[in-house]
Amino acid sequence: MQAVTVIGIDPGSQRTGWGVVREASGRLALLECGVVRALPGEKSFSARLARIYHELLFILSSHSPDEAAVEQVFTAKNALSALKLGQARGVAVAACAAHGLAISDYAPTLVKQSLVGTGRAEKEQVAFMVKRLLNVKGTGMALDASDALAVALCHLNMRRFARLTAAEH
């Protein structure tokens, strides 16, 4: 099996989590993760979107992932919040597409279910499983970054499952 590097993205207009994971011969390795944050005093929404786009382009250029996985927008109670989240997600997808990546979308419940076993898992439960799967010690990882890593790990699980079911047919 050939090694594959995946970037997972958890989009948000205030904080966009990202994480890069490599799988080689069934072994997972965390390459890097982080959060693109709105700057203090950065009031312009368009400036925040530009920051997400440019920072993701830099990360993509630095790590050259093979594929991207982006969390889908959940249904927000506030229509304006859902619209802003959708725009941040669109900017993240555009950055990945500009980098020439195949992009897969995953519902938040599927991401949680694939890692924790339930689609209603808390962020802390997801973070715990991400750290266990990637053998990360310590508590310094932001929840937005662990969510993004969960999206990447979900994608790798789905790739593995697709390969196994294709081999059966």
Residues 155, 106: Cα–Cα separation, whole Å: 8
* Count of other CB atoms within 10 angstroms of residue 165: 9
CA count, 13 A, side-chain hemisphere, 145: 18
Query: How far, in Å, are 4, 68, 102, 133 from residue 27 at the CA level?
Result: 11, 18, 22, 10
Q: Are the C-beta atoms of residues 11 and 71 closer than 8 Å to each other? A: yes
Say how far apart CA 100 and CA 93 lie, in whole Å: 11
The residue ranges of DSSP E strands in the chain, in sequence order, are 4-10, 15-24, 27-37, 67-71, 102-106
Do residues 102 and 65 lie in contact, with contact meaning Cβ atoms separated by under 8 Å? Answer: no
Catalytic residue positions, numbered: 10, 71, 144
